[in-house]
Amino acid sequence: MIRRFFTTKRLLVLLLVACAAAAGGYAYGFEYLVARGAQITVLNGKVATYTETNEEVNSLQTTLAKTEAGMNQVDGYFIPADGVVDFISSVENLATESGLSVSVDSVGAVDYGKDTAAFEEKLSLRISTEGSWAGTERFLSLVENLPYAVSVDGASIEKVENLQSSPSVEPTNAWKGEFEVSVPKLK
């Protein structure tokens, strides 16, 4: 019986040690899984943020692609920053094509004010022409219909007598025009 007691006692101790080891293993495993779960939650949050950001970027790229034609059309209403000379030349060509003599008396660029975008300013031209009434009228119409947002801020047209050098030749009638024109320009 004593022998049996020692074996049963040993068996119980052995079982208690085994149970304690199993409980420790379960506790360690549980802590390990909780720590990994927290890491997985953080990583899932990052993945969700990156996915959302990626979807927003894709949406913006799609919107930009859809509105590209419209943006290009709007850009066409402004004179490019380096296009002032070309614009003045085109206005002079319109006057010449209309049969007028032309001079650009002044050119200036002024900010529209604090309520407008920082990338645009107003290009102002003071133009003088001389020629026929029909040519002056045609020139003014062509300027107003340029592919920019042109504004004729002032116009003065008066009839003048161009006297010829010979008194036997009748004087010809001419019209002198002065126009103040403004158009938006990119800085």
Alpha-carbon gap, residue 70 to 100, rounded angstroms = 36
The whole-number pLDDT of residue 165 equals 42
Alpha-carbon gap, residue 17 to 21, rounded angstroms = 6
The whole-number pLDDT of residue 6 equals 61
Alpha-carbon gap, residue 187 to 85, rounded angstroms = 14
Alpha-carbon gap, residue 20 to 40, rounded angstroms = 30
Domain boundaries, the chain: 1-75, 84-186
Q: What is the 3-state secondary structure (H, E, C) of the chain?
A: CHHHHHHHHHHHHHHHHHHHHHHHHHHHHHHHHHHHHHHHHHHHHHHHHHHHHHHHHHHHHHHHHHHHHHHHHHHCCCECCCCHHHHHHHHHHHHHHCCCEEEEEEEEEEECCCCCCCCEEEEEEEEEEEECHHHHHHHHHHHHCCCCCCEEEEEEEEEEEECCCCCCCCCEEEEEEEEEEEEEEEC
Alpha-carbon gap, residue 182 to 151, rounded angstroms = 5
Tens of pLDDT, residue by residue over 133-168, are: 888 999 999 998 888 888 899 999 998 876 454 344
CATH architecture group of domain 84-186: 2-Layer Sandwich (3.30)
Alpha-carbon gap, residue 180 to 171, rounded angstroms = 29
The whole-number pLDDT of residue 118 equals 63
Ranges of the chain with pLDDT below 50: 163, 165-171
Q: Which tokens belong to 137?
A: 């009228």
